[in-house]
Each structure stands twice: as C-alpha cells, then as structure tokens.
Structure 1
Amino acid sequence: MSGWLGESILTEWDVIIVGAGSAGCVLAGRLAEAGQGSILVIEAGPRDLSPWVHLPIGYGKTFYHRRINWMYRTTPQAELGGREIYQPRGKVVGGSSAINAMVYARGQAEDFDEWKRLGNPGWGWAEVLAAYKRMEDHALGASLWHGAGGPLHVENVAAEVHPLTPLFVRAAGEAGLRFNPDLNGATSEGAGFYQITTRGGRRESAARAFLHPARRRERVKLETGMQVTRILFDGRRAVGVEAQRGGETLRFGARREVVLSGGAFNSPQLLQLSGIGPAELLKQHGITPLLDQPAVGRNLQDHLCYDHVYRSKRPSLNDALLSWPARIGMAANYLLRRRGPLSLSVNQGGGFYRTKPELTRPDMQLYFSPLSYERAEPGVRALMKPDPFPGFSLSVSPCRPLSRGHVAIRSPDPLVAPEIAPNYLSEPEDLRILLEGARFLHRLAATPTLSAVIDAAIRPGPEAVNDAANVAAIRANAYSVFHPCGTCRMGPDASDAVVDATLRVHGIERLRVVDASIFPTIPSGNINAPAMMVGERASELMAAG
C-alpha cells in the first residue's frame, strides 16, 4: 500500500467491488465460492428488504421509487420531440435486477461472435453459452441450450400467463411468426412466452441468487448506503476507494484489485471523477487528468420501445387488478401457492422477428402485456391501478440500434447525476426500422384472432393510417426500454475502448470494469441476463489471474 495513504485506510480487502448490481453480485458470489480472498462490496442504495423488490408485480412500485431507484433522465432528445426520457436504475442491493421486469433473454449467438470478431477473445458464443449454462437453474432442465443446478433460477411461465397472452401468440402466427416454445433455445426467432428470473414465485435478483448465499458463508462483506466518490491510486495503480456515508468520508484499501460494477451510467461517471476520461471534460470540472481516455462515457447504446395500446372486448389483467374480490383471490393464491398474476412479469409474451425476409437473423423484439395503464401519471407504471377498462399493449423494440450517445459528468460533485445523452434516432436507419415495427403492430392487430378481441385502438388511435402519422406517433411516444450499455466498451485499442478482453482498464493497473458498460455492441434483447453473464465471465478471468 502506498505510503501517502498512510493510516487513513479503514480496512483492507483483496478485492473491492463498487456496486451490488446484476454483474457485481454475480462476481462477488462466484469469487467467494472459489475462495478468492476477502471481498468488500459497496452499494450506494439500501439492502433489498422492501417487499416490493421480492414480489414480481412489485415492479410497478419500484419503477418510480426514489429510495431504491436512481430515477435518471436523459437530456432533451431532439428526435423524440425534445422529450427527456426516463432512465430507472436500481439503487438497491441487486441493482436493476431487483427492480426490472425480469425477462430473461440471453441475446443471439451472432451478438457475441461479433464481440469476438471485434478483438475480444473469450467472448464468442461458445464461451458465453458455457457461462450462461453454469449460471442457470433452468425450469426446462439441462440441455444443449440450458443449465440446471446453477445459482440463478429461470422460470418457464407458459402455463401461468393471462388468457389473452396465448391469443397474442396465435395472432403472431397469423401474422407470419412461427411459435417458439423456447426463446432462449436454438434460436430466439418466433413468438412465444418469455422466461423470467423468479424462484418459487419470488423475484430472483442477482443478489438473491449469488450475493446472499456468499454472505451467509461469511466470505463477503456488504456495505450499503455508501457511495463511492473516487478511486484511489498510487501512480496509475488502483489501490482502493474513497466513499461517503452519512456525511463521513471513508477509505478502503484493495490489495489485489478494484472492480467497478456501477452500470452504464455510474461506472464511467466514477472513472471520470477519478481522473480517467476525456481530458478536456475533466479539466472543465477542475479534475486533474490521470489518464486522458476519450472513450470513457462514449458509445452509449440503448433499446427504444414503441407501444400500441388497445381496449379489449375480453377481460384483461386490468379487470383482475381493479376488482377487490379478484385482488383478494390473487393475494390468496400467491400467499398459499406463490402462483398467479402476482408471481409474473408484465411482459408475458413476445419474441423476435426479421423486418425483412432477406435478413440473416431477427432485428426486432416484440412484447405483449395483458394490461394497460394509459391513465396513470406520466412516468409511473401503476400496475396495481391500471386503466378502468380491459386493455392490453403490443410493443416493438429494434434489437441493434445504430445511434450512439454519451455519459459525462456535469460537476466534480459525485452526488450530481451525470449527463445522459443517448441521441435516440440520430441514425435515420433506426427510425426506418421502428417504422417497420409500427407497420407490423398494425398488421398484428388486424389478424383474425386479435381483431376479434380489440374493441378500440387507444394509442396511437385510428388516425395512424399512414407512415407520416406513424412517425409522428413514434416521435411522441417512443421510450427507453431501459437497456443502457457500452460506455466503457471492451476492445483491444485504447483509443476507442476502455477495457481489454480481461476487463482491465487500458493504461491502469489493478482496475477492472464488470457490468453492461463493457458491451462493445448491444445484445439483441433484454440485457439483464448478459450483464449477469459478464459477472460470471469476470469471475473466471479474475481467478485465472
């Protein structure tokens, strides 16, 4: 330990992990399981004690819960009518895996083979699939595509979904999509029922699956309500972190490594606050650059989502959630059997398809939700207070958007949220693909099965009859599906990448980044599973030295 730190260090650990999120929890649990020395995990948020974290439908409460959610917002987005787009991020043990909609989607094989082609050995589909299988305790059992007996339970809810959801799957078939009984199997293409991260009817966050078992074995120390404000260095070697809690400044030393697992917003923010980032940006805020690294905070990617909402002739989940007798029945079913709507995700059906037949793989994700909440306060997903009529939604989300943005500190004060500028639809191709998605939703709604169920189009409404009207609706209503990544991208060239294939920060010793910020390109689907996979792969890399 560097002499200048002296005795100001409170305690020393072999490894310090900053952030108890999806990847950080997996990494801590796996390192502890392998006996990789003493591990300190520091989380800015509280412990995951809220019942809304563990109740799957509690997603509606945690979506806008300031105590356990960073509740970030983007800069005004020029291509979305100048709107600021909401960006919820978990500020709680478990991170965003504790507040998300729980869809388990691993991405397409080609996503990871592309990572490997970009100069990242060890990150091709063969290695990534092996990591997924080690993690999984899959309800479908062990197979060529799935693991069994791992820490993370993945549930198959096909038999539990709302009666409207199989109608959506049938309609998707009428619109040309084949039924896919396993959207994480040999291919993701087709329509079916999403698998979710629950166990026994309770949310299976990364903390529940990986971190808490390690803590019970007393191999990991967890500090909560403590925000890391900067990384401590001896020259260009990371030797610890400085943090704040309750107005007190604390320092912790790392004998082996410091690992950032703060996610796509907070990991680049902490690097920049610590002097690693674009030199001009750092100087602007009075921070002396330790390493001029322009790639820190660049390459921000995210998935946009666009909905069509309908009034239904048949009962939807709205009816059950608004009826007190039905609520009581659901609560009893959940308490006694851990089953029913309270045990499920809002995203029950969906899949992946190609917007053009000549494409070699799907480029669009599809969602179905058997409820609607158009009358809720903007920004709030009031799942327990949906619209006072039966309704449902159909959604599309392009898998691999081309638009890129950035994350940048606004202040040297670590408590000031960073600037988040995704630049949605800045690439015209992204709008073209989203328009193709809107056309498909109209086609899907016109199928015999769904047209027989739809009473009226609520949003965008019957006036969306041409491309101009659909584009206007997209600009007015598209929103993030909350998959930010790429801001500390992995790659061999330090001029445009932040970490190498072992997740070590270029130009810095004993410092790694382990979270979704390292994705070179965004995976085709929900990113919680890939983020956990990064934690799994990182534990192997760190164990190897």
Structure 2
Amino acid sequence: MNKHTTQADFPTEFDYIIVGGGAAGCVLANRLSARSTLRVALIEAGGPDNTPRIHVPAGTISLYKSQKYTYQYYSTPQAHLDNRRIHVPRGRMLGGSSSMNSMIYIRGARSDYDHWESLGCTGWGYDSVLKYFMREEDNRLHQDPHFHGTGGELIVDQPRDPLGVSRLFIQAAEEVGLKENADFNGAQLEGVGIYNVTQKDGKRLSAYRAFVAPVRSRPNLHVLTNCRVASLVTDGQSVQGVTVEHNGQFHVLRAHRETILSAGAIGSPHLLMASGIGNAAQLLESGVPVVADLPQVGCNLQDHIDGLVTLRSGSATTLGFSRASLGSVLPAPLQFLLKRKGWLTTNYVEAGGFASTRYAQGVPDVQFHFVPGYRSHRGRLFEWGHGFALHTCVLRPQSRGSIRLTRDGSRAPEIDFNFLSDERDALVLLEGIKLARRILRASAFDGIRGKEMAPVAALQTDAELMAYLRATASTVFHPSGTCRMGSDDASVLTPDLKVRGLKGLRVADTSIMPTLISGNTNAPTMMIGDKAADMILSELA
C-alpha cells in the first residue's frame, strides 16, 4: 500500500489478518498465502526496507537510533540498575527487528524447548520444533543433516570476511578452557566460534526478504505498509478484525477466520491491552474499557541482561577510525560492491559463544558476543581509534518484568524489565564478566591489547564489579514472554497460541515463550511463525 491508495481500493476483507511484518509475521504470511484459496493480509506499521542501511551488514549500527526505521522505546527506571532507563529499539519496517539485528543464527538449547513442554506446552519440545527450523533453512555450510535443512527460504551462511581479530578471540577462549564449536545449532551449544549469519550474497536476509518478497506477487497476499493497527475489533466473545490508521484515515479490516498478533513482546501485549484485553484493574486505571480480564497479559517479561568489557588497542587490524585505518576504510564501499568483502561486511559481533559459570546446571548459562572494534565506554556509536570488546549476557534470567499501559492518558507501553530483581541473575552476570576478562587477558591478545576502559583494571572485588554492572548493564534486545502460552488457566495462550476466552485471535511471536531461550531470538521467532501456520492450516483440513 502506498500514499496514493484510495478509500475505494483499500482492501478490507480477508480470511486471516497478521499484525506485524517481523520475523514470525513474515513466515506466517508466506505459509498461509501458499494456500491460494485463503486471502491473507500482512500489516506493518513501518514502511519498506529500501535502504542500504538495512541490506549492507555494517549498516545495522546506523539503525538503532533511527526515528524512521525503529521504535525508540525506553524502559522505566530500573530499580536494580541505579534507576537507569534502558534504551529498547525495535524494528519498524518490513522485516521488523530482523531488518536491523546482527543476523546471528542461533536456535537455543534443546533443553529450552523440552522445558516448555514440561510446563504443559504440548508439542513444543525440541524434537517437535526441530522440523520447522530445518524446513525453513537453506544451510550453505554442509553442517550435520540431522540438525540442518537445505532448500528452505532462509539462507544460513558464514560471514563473508570476518576480521582476523575475531579468530584471536577463539584462540583466547581456548586458552581459558573453552573449546571451539563449529555449529552452535548442532549436537551441543557450549563453546566458541564464528557465528553463522542469515545473509544472501553477503547482504542481510531479513524475514521479509526470505519469506515475503519472493512471493509478494501472490494475488491472495496483501502487504499493507505504513498502516498502524489502533485496536482489535471485538464483541467481547470473539475478534473479527482490526481498526487501522493509514494516511490519517481509519479503516476496519475484517478477518473471516482469525486475527494473528505478531507484533513482538512489546507490541502484541500492548495491542491487547489497548483493545481492553488484559488485567482489568490496570486497564481501568489507564482509562480503557475492559473487554476480557486476562491478568497475565504483559506479565512474565524476560530479556538477556548484558555486561561489557572493552579495551583500547593500538592496532589498526581492529575496526576503528584512525589515520592508520584509512587504507581499509576508504576502499570499503568498492570492495563490498564488487566482491562483498571488506569492512562493510561486518555485523560487529562476528564471533562469540556459550559458556557455563559455576551456577550452570548442565547447560551453558552465559553467552558472549565479541566485537572486533572499540566499543565505546561512554555509550557512543563511534569513538576515534581502535580496540575490541566482549559482551556477556545471562542466558536464562530468573527476573521477571512487565508491559502495561501508561496511566497518563497516552496508553503508550510502559516497559519494566525489572532487571536483576532476582539475585541469581546478578551472580551469573558477575561470573560471566569475570570469565570475559580472563578471555581478553589471554596471551592471544598480547600483541594488540591496550588499556581496559571498562570496567577498568582497578575494579577487582565482587562488590566493585557488581557496582559497575548495576551502573552500565543493558539489554541484548531479546524481549519475550509477555503473552505466555501454557496449560494453566493463568497463561494468556493455550499451546495452540489461541488467546484464552476469545475466539478468532492468536498470538505468534517471542511473547508466547514461557521462558526465554538460550541465545539470539530471530531464528526461534521464525520457527514460532512456521509452527503457528501449521496449527492454523491443520484446522482447515
């Protein structure tokens, strides 16, 4: 849909309406529209993805503060993080956050999904979800066919031109006892290595580019962009569609079968609550008439809290801007254009891995993202000079936060991660940062290591490091859990992703996760969309 669309040609009747053109929504749109008798709408509040900032891997760094392509959310002051507000950017364009993430392909641990099933989420165990990961995948790395697929829409490949310093990270990690792992999505998660990425010919392969762009010509698939969903259309018993705003005009779009929310762990509960579906007392406080009292909508918010160790370096072999690096920086655009090589191919976290602290219970409990360039200790996007850094996050946080509507009349989402409210997360993060320091102090880095800028070498005691983490820790941008599925009456969704107490409404995105998976959430979110489509189509048979 473009700005010239008129009232007369605005489509309003569909079988299925999918709210959100991100990772899950794009897979759903592909799978449902493959049945030619079904009329499917994919609604995206943002616009098209037609900018090099999205498609060139290194462009990702320019998107996090973009007003055009990103929702610029901020959390409430975090009581256990020195009352800081945490920046929470989310994708606002076709592809959603898959159009601005670091393109890392990680599924999580087998035990994550088996745990879901043990909580009553029948059909969500690892053996059940593996087939969806494999069906979607076009693995270009000749990895174990017991875990990987070929011929799917999503290309999984290695980075085109990783920096040599990323290999130094692997060597350094091996020095402290971690082993190299060539496939984090295979038989085991633990270890370090170069991350696999979702790229095609050296360019970003978002969920939109993988699953929707190739089939957008299907006559039964309608992709509506710059189209904000204001509320669900409901009679209190069922949902019949959505009210949308486009070019200042409001339209009612009808879904004859189902409306599916794929707006993410912030967007989906927010839309439910804005439509009167949620905790009745909180809705009334925000001035929203109650349609359905579902107290757990917006609860159970989880995210991977992250700490940073960052060092300066005098070596121009790391990413950075200096006179010495001009020979690499200036030819980078031409190198990328002609050969898909050079600095513009970086996703800034080329290497990393998974490790177990002393608190782990048989499966890694921290993840590393290694940055082969200087990560500003002041929070800036760019700093003059060189260095390298290591992010460390808590994989299975115990802290729980919430999304609710603000009480100021705006009905905006109020995001409270409640980070480190559970002391167990603080203990794991502290041990993870200590391990990160050991890795960066290993002899592999001796030739290029400079001054530690954060947390700074003088901070050595647990109390000092914990104070540093409370002053600086942030999110890895993996919010989840706010429309939890389960078999208990308190869950928002049944295991087939239907909203309890309402007909014609499902949710399919990271918000359905009862517990956060152990790693980056892009691949699991696409799996959720794929499995949701199968469940929907099976009911039509």
Q: Same fold (TM over 0.5)?
A: yes
One-letter identity of the residue aligned with 2:337: L
CA–CA separation in structure 2 for the residues paired with 1:102 and 1:330: 20
User: What residue in structure 1 maps to residue 489 of structure 2?
Assistant: 494
Q: CA deviation digits over 1:442-464, x for unaligned, max 9?
A: 21122221244312111111111
* 1:409 pairs with 2:392: no
* 1:400 pairs with 2:402: no
Q: Does the 8 Å CA contact 2:329/2:343 hold for their aligned counterparts?
A: no
Structure 2 counterpart SS, 1:239: strand
Question: For residues 294-309 of structure 1, what are the structure 2 equivalents within 5 Å?
Answer: 294-309=295-310
One-letter identity of the residue aligned with 1:530: P
User: What residue in structure 2 maps to residue 372 of structure 1?
Assistant: 374
Compared with structure 1, are the counterparts of its residues 115 and 515 closer, same or farther at alpha carbon in structure 2 (3 Å cutoff)?
A: same
* 1:429 pairs with 2:424: yes
Task: State the 1:219 CA deviation.
Answer: 3.2
User: What residue in structure 1 maps to residue 255 of structure 2?
Assistant: 254
Question: For residues 191-270 of structure 1, what are the structure 2 equivalents within 5 Å?
Answer: 191-270=192-271
Q: Which runs of 5+ in 1 are unaligned?
A: 1-6
User: What residue in structure 1 maps to residue 506 of structure 2?
Assistant: 512
* 1:476 pairs with 2:491: no
Q: Does the 8 Å CA contact 1:141/1:148 hold for their aligned counterparts?
A: no
Task: State the 1:40 CA deviation.
Answer: 0.7
Q: CA deviation digits over 1:211-245, x for unaligned, max 9?
A: 11221233311111111111111341111110112
Task: State the 1:10 CA deviation.
Answer: 6.0
Task: State the 1:510 CA deviation.
Answer: 0.9
One-letter identity of the residue aligned with 2:197: I
User: What residue in structure 2 maps to residue 438 of structure 1?
Assistant: 433
CA–CA separation in structure 2 for the residues paired with 1:313 and 1:402: 40
Q: CA deviation digits over 1:359-397, x for unaligned, max 9?
A: 311111011110124177x4x5x3xxx322220101210
Q: Does the 8 Å CA contact 1:46/1:91 hold for their aligned counterparts?
A: yes
Compared with structure 1, are the counterparts of its residues 200 and 227 closer, same or farther at alpha carbon in structure 2 (3 Å cutoff)?
A: same
RMSD of the alignment, in Å? 1.9
Q: Does the 8 Å CA contact 1:407/1:487 hold for their aligned counterparts?
A: yes
Q: Which runs of 5+ in 2 are unaligned?
A: 1-7
Structure 2 counterpart SS, 1:121: coil
CA–CA separation in structure 2 for the residues paired with 1:455 and 1:324: 21
Task: State the 1:320 CA deviation.
Answer: 7.8
* 1:522 pairs with 2:524: no
Task: State the 1:412 CA deviation.
Answer: 9.0
One-letter identity of the residue aligned with 1:476: A
Question: For residues 84-163 of structure 1, what are the structure 2 equivalents within 5 Å?
Answer: 84-141=85-142, 143-157=145-159, 160-163=161-164
One-letter identity of the residue aligned with 1:430: D
If the length of structure 1 is used for normalisation, what is the TM-score? 0.94
Q: CA deviation digits over 1:421-449, x for unaligned, max 9?
A: 01000000100111101111221122221
CA–CA separation in structure 2 for the residues paired with 1:465 and 1:34: 61
Task: State the 1:416 CA deviation.
Answer: 4.9
Task: State the 1:339 CA deviation.
Answer: 2.6
Q: Which moved more, 1:259-268 or 1:304-313?
A: 304-313
* 1:355 pairs with 2:357: yes
Q: CA deviation digits over 1:308-366, x for unaligned, max 9?
A: 00112432111589844422322111101223331231111110011028731111101
CA–CA separation in structure 2 for the residues paired with 1:23 and 1:340: 32
CA–CA separation in structure 1 for the residues paired with 2:323 and 2:46: 30
CA–CA separation in structure 2 for the residues paired with 1:323 and 1:160: 16
Q: Which moved more, 1:442-451 or 1:74-83?
A: 442-451
User: What residue in structure 2 maps to residue 4 of structure 1?
Assistant: none
Structure 2 counterpart SS, 1:182: coil
Compared with structure 1, are the counterparts of its residues 321 and 502 closer, same or farther at alpha carbon in structure 2 (3 Å cutoff)?
A: farther
Q: Does the 8 Å CA contact 1:242/1:250 hold for their aligned counterparts?
A: yes
Q: CA deviation digits over 1:260-293, x for unaligned, max 9?
A: 0110011001111111100001112232211110
Q: Does the 8 Å CA contact 1:116/1:123 hold for their aligned counterparts?
A: yes
User: What residue in structure 2 maps to residue 82 of structure 1?
Assistant: 83
Compared with structure 1, are the counterparts of its residues 388 and 86 closer, same or farther at alpha carbon in structure 2 (3 Å cutoff)?
A: same
Compared with structure 1, are the counterparts of its residues 322 and 107 closer, same or farther at alpha carbon in structure 2 (3 Å cutoff)?
A: farther
Q: Which moved more, 1:53-62 or 1:327-336?
A: 327-336
User: What residue in structure 2 maps to residue 503 of structure 1?
Assistant: 497
Q: CA deviation digits over 1:75-111, x for unaligned, max 9?
A: 0001111100000100111000001111111000000
CA–CA separation in structure 2 for the residues paired with 1:68 and 1:343: 21
Q: Which moved more, 1:59-68 or 1:308-317?
A: 308-317
Q: Which moved more, 1:213-222 or 1:416-425?
A: 213-222
* 1:542 pairs with 2:531: no
User: What residue in structure 2 maps to residue 339 of structure 1?
Assistant: 341
User: What residue in structure 1 maps to residue 58 of structure 2?
Assistant: 57
One-letter identity of the residue aligned with 1:388: W
CA–CA separation in structure 1 for the residues paired with 2:256 and 2:142: 40
Q: CA deviation digits over 1:149-197, x for unaligned, max 9?
A: 100011112x721010111100000011011111222111101111111
Q: Which moved more, 1:182-191 or 1:90-99?
A: 182-191
Q: Does the 8 Å CA contact 2:69/2:93 hold for their aligned counterparts?
A: yes
Structure 2 counterpart SS, 1:390: strand
Structure 2 counterpart SS, 1:111: helix
If the length of structure 2 is used for normalisation, what is the TM-score? 0.94
One-letter identity of the residue aligned with 2:413: P
CA–CA separation in structure 2 for the residues paired with 1:216 and 1:444: 50
One-letter identity of the residue aligned with 1:29: N
User: What residue in structure 2 maps to residue 460 of structure 1?
Assistant: 455
Compared with structure 1, are the counterparts of its residues 445 and 324 closer, same or farther at alpha carbon in structure 2 (3 Å cutoff)?
A: closer
Compared with structure 1, are the counterparts of its residues 357 and 18 closer, same or farther at alpha carbon in structure 2 (3 Å cutoff)?
A: closer
Task: State the 1:246 CA deviation.
Answer: 2.4
Amino-acid identity (%): 39
Q: Does the 8 Å CA contact 1:399/1:525 hold for their aligned counterparts?
A: yes
One-letter identity of the residue aligned with 1:366: F
CA–CA separation in structure 2 for the residues paired with 1:231 and 1:494: 23
Task: State the 1:122 CA deviation.
Answer: 1.2
One-letter identity of the residue aligned with 2:182: P
Compared with structure 1, are the counterparts of its residues 448 and 498 closer, same or farther at alpha carbon in structure 2 (3 Å cutoff)?
A: same
User: What residue in structure 2 maps to residue 3 of structure 1?
Assistant: none
Compared with structure 1, are the counterparts of its residues 219 and 370 closer, same or farther at alpha carbon in structure 2 (3 Å cutoff)?
A: same
Task: State the 1:141 CA deviation.
Answer: 3.2
Q: Which moved more, 1:324-333 or 1:430-439?
A: 324-333
Structure 1 counterpart SS, 2:59: helix
CA–CA separation in structure 1 for the residues paired with 2:486 and 2:234: 23
One-letter identity of the residue aligned with 2:402: H
Q: Does the 8 Å CA contact 1:273/1:412 hold for their aligned counterparts?
A: no
